[in-house]
Structure 1
Amino acid sequence: MTLLLTIFAAIITTVFWYNRKNNDMQLHVLLFMFWGASLMWFVDAIAEYIELGADYFAPAVEDMINDSFLGFSVIAFALIIWVVYLLIKDPKGVVRKSIS
C-alpha cells in the first residue's frame, strides 16, 4: 500500500512537472522525493516478497491500514519538506517582499 501511494504521488507530481509553464514552484524537488520513495518501497517490496513468498500478496487488514498510514505520512512529510524548501528558496520573492 505504501508503494502504491508513493507511486501515485510520483505520477501526479510528474504530470504537473511536465505540464508546467515555468519552474517557479520547484516541482523537481518534490518529484525526486516521491520517485526516490517509490524506488525505496519497491526494493522493500522485493525483499519482503523474497522473505514471505506468495503470502506477500495476501496481507492482513491491520498491515494494510498501517501501510496506508505510513504512505500518507511519507507523502505529507515530503510535502512539508517541499514547502520549507520553497520558503527558503523563495523563487517568486514573496517572503522577501513581506519581510522588508
Structure 2
Amino acid sequence: MTLLLTVFAAIITTVKWYNRENDNMKLHVLMYMFWGASLMWFVDAIAEYIELGAEYFNPALEDMINDSFLGLSVIAFALIIWVVYLLVKDPKGVVRKSITK
C-alpha cells in the first residue's frame, strides 16, 4: 500500500507539474520527493518478495492497514517539507512582504 499511495501521489504531482503555467509553487521539489519515495518502496517490495515469495501477494488486513497509515504518513511528511521549503524560498515574496511591514 505504501508503494501504491506514493506512486499515485507522484503521478498526480507530475501531471500538475507538467501542466503548470509557471513554477511559483516549486512542484518539482514535491514531485522528486514522491518519485524518490516510490523508488524506495519499490526496492523494498522487491526485497520483501525475495524474502517471502508468493506470500507477499497475500498480506493480512492488519498489515495493509499499517502500510496504508505509513504511506499516508510519508505523503503528509513530504507535504510538510514542501510547505517549509516554500516558506523558506518564498517564490511570490509573500513572507518577505509580511515581515517587512
Paired amino acid for 1:90: D
Percent identity over paired residues: 86
Measure, in 1, the Cα distance between the counterparts of 2:78 and 2:69: 14
Structure 1 gap segments, 5+ residues each:
none
TM-score of the superposed pair, with normalisation by structure 2: 0.99
Number of aligned residues? 100
Measure, in 2, the Cα distance between the counterparts of 1:3 and 1:54: 18
Match of 1:34 in 2: 34
Paired amino acid for 1:88: V
TM-score of the superposed pair, with normalisation by structure 1: 1.00
Runs of 4 or more above 2 Å deviation: none
Shift, 1:75, TM fit = 0.0
Paired amino acid for 2:66: N
Measure, in 1, the Cα distance between the counterparts of 2:51 and 2:91: 46
Shift, 1:7, TM fit = 0.1
Match of 2:53 in 1: 53
Structure 2 gap segments, 5+ residues each:
none
Match of 2:95 in 1: 95
Paired amino acid for 1:20: R
Measure, in 2, the Cα distance between the counterparts of 1:19 and 1:32: 16
